[in-house]
Amino acid sequence: MFYDTHAHLDYTDYAPDLTEVVARAQAAGITKIISIGTSLDSSERAIRLAEKFQNVYAAVGWHPTESEKAPNDLRPALREFAKHPRVVAIGETGLDYHHLPGMSVTHGGASVPATRLVSSLAPPTQSADDARYKQRQAEVFQQQLEVAAEFGLNCIIHQRNSFDDTLAQLKLFAGKVRGVFHCFGESVERMKQVFEIGSLVSFTGIVTFKNAQNVREAVAAAPPDKFMLETDCPYLAPVPYRGKRCEPAYVKEISETVAQVKNCSLVELSVATCKTAMEFFPKLS
Ligand SMILES: [Zn+2]
């Protein structure tokens, strides 16, 4: 028995066969799935799925890469969602500096430097556009942390090339809100920084990839009560499905690799990760 703590079941990838996808998860022993919101529409779809399927729960939030499309104040709508009995977390939220507006633009497949806005006030390595983009992400993240604190919910954290800023912003809510750094692929040192503020990590199918030795090192170093399992489906299908559409049933393959890396039994891993998830998501009954 395992849980998939991060799935995007509302994506159109599953439109043709979602009922079968959910049934296959159940048959594979994946007894709880959290469908993650990336916008208000997506969050509402996640809630509808949680109402429809007994083993599906919802997280409601706004993805950092979509921050510029977020309403000025996301909080009122999020508060309405957060009251729902099947909403177990806020997210995904966080910061993502992977594609900064001033960094590069794509022309016919080739990445070329964009013309930078030169401002005497901005640091030389950061354009005014980048600063605005980061500022907007921080505001949208802040609003979600506030709603999480109000409702006693934890946050599902997405960060990419923004680890220090994400940790610093989450740290301001230490004692009120914890985060799970999903799809964790950072160093063991950074993982310890996450644990120091009471937060957790979760691991995806990347752990099965041949070139992901760093992720396996993090898995090996993570105490049994500090991590959860997830697919991030439809992305990141584990070996032997790599490159195909991922689905919650594949937590099975992820759990097998993680148990191997941790040199523990599947039962031990099941007990530890399910207990961690039940504590982290108090409404996951
Ligand atoms: Zn995700």
SS3 sequence of 204-239: CHHHHCCCCHHHHHHHHHCCCCCEEECCCECCCCCC
Q: What average pLDDT does this structure show over 77-89?
A: 98
* pLDDT tier for residue 102 given thresholds of 50, 70 and 90: confident
pLDDT in tens, 26-53: 999 999 999 999 999 999 999 999 999 9
Query: Ligand 1 centre from 172 Cα, in Å?
Result: 23
Query: Ligand 1 centre from 234 Cα, in Å?
Result: 9
Query: Ligand 1 centre from 119 Cα, in Å?
Result: 34
* pLDDT tier for residue 110 given thresholds of 50, 70 and 90: very low
Query: Ligand 1 centre from 62 Cα, in Å?
Result: 11
Query: Do 250 and 241 meet the contact criterion of CB atoms below 8 Å apart?
Result: yes
Residue 112 has pLDDT above 80, yes or no: no
Of 40-49, 117-126, 129-138, 268-277, the range with the lowest mean pLDDT is: 117-126
Residue 6 has pLDDT above 80, yes or no: yes
CA 127 – CA 103 distance, rounded (Å): 8
282 SS3 class: coil
Query: How high is the pLDDT of residue 268?
Result: 98
Query: Ligand 1 centre from 38 Cα, in Å?
Result: 8
pTM of the prediction? 0.92
Query: Ligand 1 centre from 36 Cα, in Å?
Result: 7
Residues lying with their CB under 5 A of ligand 1, a single-atom ion: 232
Query: How high is the pLDDT of residue 107?
Result: 44
Query: Ligand 1 centre from 251 Cα, in Å?
Result: 15
Residue 123 has pLDDT above 60, yes or no: no
